[in-house]
Structure 1
């Protein structure tokens, strides 16, 4: 790309002319420590409802006070700036309370997927250097096993029923059946932390440099690694998103928003757009610990929710639910879909059902989180991930060279902006591959191949990184392959994503068995063997045995040939149908 073309399409933000009215191309960003937002809400709007959990309303004052007590306990245990605290919890009010309590003493939070196995918990904890883990009571046994592989200083057990109304707690415990917890020594209850005297201590935090979170992702390759997210990264993204929310408020005449907390908070998408944004903007969040479509619709109707963030699967399940038209969902003002391509028909039917706008957006863990979104009320283009948000530069680059490409040309989507993460934790070689300098800016390579049209709308056409999108989850084939190679009968293994009408893609493993195992092991045996080693969404959904796998001249397994074979099968099947 020539300097002239860059200046026309990038430096002048050609996309800004298509923004909704009132959305500026540049936001005057003031990065702040994240805990300052909670302190502000607790002081200025303390009695306002921060969270609704099974009907129980928790105020900002309570959230602030309880996080101060958690901070006091962590500080008493000797934790401080830079120490890592792991969260292994579903969505509950305790999640943000603990998160912000850790931030107040300068600690770094590393959330974990509640579906992780003990092996996965131990891997992340060890790589992150987590000293303390907060775990839901129903998941305690997994941490008990993980603790044998990575010894924690403290294990804090959080009852999922905590913060539920008193009359629901006994029912919840009977239904969830948490194991008996051996409290004592290193094993303590979350409830006991709340008896600590609240501290007013706040660590001295440089938002641009100091980490708020270590978010684990596959990055540009397949092995999970920690993305170093600063306070400033998240703070900036919240301020970049605010003009979009303000458009909705003005259009609906709302002072404060009610948001649905459906997306999991261990994931950067739900964490930033809902959990952090709710505290930043003083919104009420209806907490949903486990997605249940009818329950979600009931809660939208009951609390007159304005905002719903989700993945395409969620919206598809709502429009296809037999009781969808029995609920009043007209309070919804806007909904955003991310993590996977949004089918045009799904968006159309959802908008017809609810009257809300449903727009596709885009972001990554490494960009904490949003970089693109389609205009809410302006020109939205089907199939596009939308326009770069305010104060964000986006471009398309040569996948192998530090060169930006002109509009219409396919390359790797790259991002530059204050929300772009610091780098991968202890991965200097991958950081060198992930970033490059061009035209006076530092660009992050997303790993997604796409193009920008003449109006500044971006489109994704393929993925550079070897990643599978299963029901909105990011599944990395290399991690599955490493587990498969541990099986005594597996000689070679390759995993690819195969298109699936409901899941988006499913992980399929192609395996060459050792000679002594042929005829003695079935595909079902392999799948079952992975059950205690991989979270359920990572497990291969199909296994095919081969005598050999396609390879290049240097012996590299050619996954593109396997993908081509599967696509041909699907096309032939469709033609016969």
Structure 2
């Protein structure tokens, strides 16, 4: 275990951080007792106070227990966009001593079927615009499947005149949806059910986010109240958050980064969150000045879009005191543009579903660009050879493995995958991340690439993320994704799919990008092919879907080979 990073540790903070020996639902009780009349959630100018939040989340818990038969440890699907109802449902499920299964609202019926079958959930909480996707699964399956559906209308929490009209799916009036096992959200609240005792402890299951399914069907990551408490408390302390903070919560809450930084952490300290259901760069900029937002957690593609807004100078960003995120390295040009505009540094971090958010964060007083950061409190992170599993020296590239209080218990109902995910070093279990990185002379971790995302060009290993980081330096490039394309002579060649800055479209050629690339990187890394595209596909969390693009490129190459083109 390296201690190089200790010399750059946040001033005044200890290396170890004791964690509360309580459940997450207890955090609601604490903050509601301390700040009963303070707004916790602001949703298009409608505020929900901590006292109101506690009351409604307990009504949900009582309904789940008494009307839906939810017992301690049962899994409940949460399938909706960012909204007051998402957060209320999350904590209502926890107050019922049950387990939250957060699901991407972009999933369709066939994809949802896997989450229902695998998690064995019998209750789902869904908005009215997505009810049609879940309806076919009610009563379906070998063990009955979904029995009860709680249906919400986002517009029920639009109780004040708004400055900016919400999207139609948010402002749509409540529908009188009826069906097997269906209860409307408003009817549920009107029942005013009182839950039984809160019995969940720190080592009971809390939330089960599913992996993205990059190596087969998505797997449920079993997180306890203790592991979830770890990263939310780590984040609160690392960034010195307080009850005076106002957070822009725009990252999807079903994803662990948004869940922890945009919801659980602020609730723990009694902050206010401004909830956006979908990304909108103008609404984000307006909200910062309108609500006095102090902290914003985002991802690189979101920030690229935000800073590319030609109307940005119309908005007041002066209240921002911290901007942070992860998901992909932030391009140098974007970091510089943010600094020039706001005086702030973008503080990057690193984590995954299996670690319920960050294991590494850059020190706020000394961040490095395009860097994962340093291991946070009580985290032992190492770089190993992915084949021999031997720990590597500082500066060498290998796989990140981590041990810490935020590591999942394992994969739900998948003991084989759990065994494959962990190794033992010095008598401790370490999670294999599948991410390749190196440690610099200061102990900071730098991502090289995913273990399985490598291009083999004439025997040279090319890591697409490294090439992308270099290409972002070109002033004409807005976004880029690098994939491997079959080459009969080289095995594989490097191909770059490029989205140009709007002002540069038509004024730069693919050959000019190729020539420039050969000037700034080794010849074996430089793209041999540049293709201009209007946009790149992204996940709900804003990450570029490189695997999808890689698969499309392989299919295209195979089709060309079969036709002799």
TM-score (norm 2): 0.79
Match of 1:320 among 272, 294, 308: 308
Range that drifts further, 352-361 or 141-150: 141-150
1:179 deviation in Å? Answer: 9.2
1:177 deviation in Å? Answer: 5.0
Match of 1:130 among 121, 135, 157: 121
Q: Residue 502 and residue 227 in structure 1: after superposition, are their counterparts in 2 closer, same or farther (change >3 A)?
A: farther
> What does 1:133-212 correspond to in 2, within 5 Å?
133-147=124-138, 149-150=140-141, 151-165=145-159, 177=172, 181-183=176-178, 185-199=180-194, 201-208=196-203, 210-212=204-206
Deviation string, structure 1 residues 428-478 (Cα, Å, up to 9, x no partner) = 1111111111123211010001111232100111111469999xxxx9x9x
Q: Does 1:118 align with 2:113?
A: no
Deviation string, structure 1 residues 509-566 (Cα, Å, up to 9, x no partner) = xxxxxxxxxxxxxxxxxxxxx9xxxx9986956564455799xxxxxxxxxxxxxxxx
> What does 1:284-363 correspond to in 2, within 5 Å?
284-363=272-351
Match of 2:449 among 438, 462, 469: 462
| Residue aligning to 2:81 | 90
1:166 deviation in Å? Answer: 5.2
SS state at 2:248 partner: strand
> What does 1:129-528 correspond to in 2, within 5 Å?
129-147=120-138, 149-150=140-141, 151-165=145-159, 177=172, 181-183=176-178, 185-199=180-194, 201-208=196-203, 210-218=204-212, 221-246=215-240, 256-378=244-366, 380-465=367-452, 499-502=496-499
How many angstroms apart in 2 are the aligned matches of 1:327 and 1:74? Answer: 43
Q: Residue 62 and residue 427 in structure 1: after superposition, are their counterparts in 2 closer, same or farther (change >3 A)?
A: same
Q: Residue 66 and residue 174 in structure 1: after superposition, are their counterparts in 2 closer, same or farther (change >3 A)?
A: closer
1:147 deviation in Å? Answer: 3.5
How many angstroms apart in 1 are the aligned matches of 2:169 and 2:219? Answer: 37
- What is the number of equivalent residue pairs in this alignment? 479
1:162 deviation in Å? Answer: 2.1
Contact residue 402 and residue 437 of structure 1 kept, 8 A: no
| Residue aligning to 1:27 | 17
| Residue aligning to 2:26 | 36
Contact residue 121 and residue 146 of structure 2 kept, 8 A: yes
Contact residue 265 and residue 275 of structure 1 kept, 8 A: yes
Q: Which runs of 5+ in 2 are unaligned?
A: 455-463, 469-480, 484-492, 501-536
Match of 1:107 among 95, 98, 102: 98
Deviation string, structure 1 residues 158-215 (Cα, Å, up to 9, x no partner) = 101121125569987688657955325401101111123352533322312x111111
Match of 1:47 among 37, 43, 61: 37
Range that drifts further, 100-109 or 403-412: 403-412
After superposition, the CA RMSD in angstroms is: 3.0
| Residue aligning to 1:58 | 48
Q: Residue 107 and residue 434 in structure 1: after superposition, are their counterparts in 2 closer, same or farther (change >3 A)?
A: same
SS state at 2:239 partner: helix
Q: Residue 502 and residue 271 in structure 1: after superposition, are their counterparts in 2 closer, same or farther (change >3 A)?
A: farther
Higher relative contact order (CA 8 A, sep 6+): 1
Contact residue 87 and residue 134 of structure 1 kept, 8 A: yes
1:98 deviation in Å? Answer: 0.9
Q: Which runs of 5+ in 1 are unaligned?
A: 1-5, 478-495, 504-529, 551-577
Match of 2:60 among 70, 81, 85: 70
1:355 deviation in Å? Answer: 2.3
Q: Residue 175 and residue 237 in structure 1: after superposition, are their counterparts in 2 closer, same or farther (change >3 A)?
A: closer
Deviation string, structure 1 residues 194-246 (Cα, Å, up to 9, x no partner) = 123352533322312x1111111047724211111111111111222222221
Q: Residue 176 and residue 64 in structure 1: after superposition, are their counterparts in 2 closer, same or farther (change >3 A)?
A: closer
How many angstroms apart in 1 are the aligned matches of 2:69 and 2:263? Answer: 27
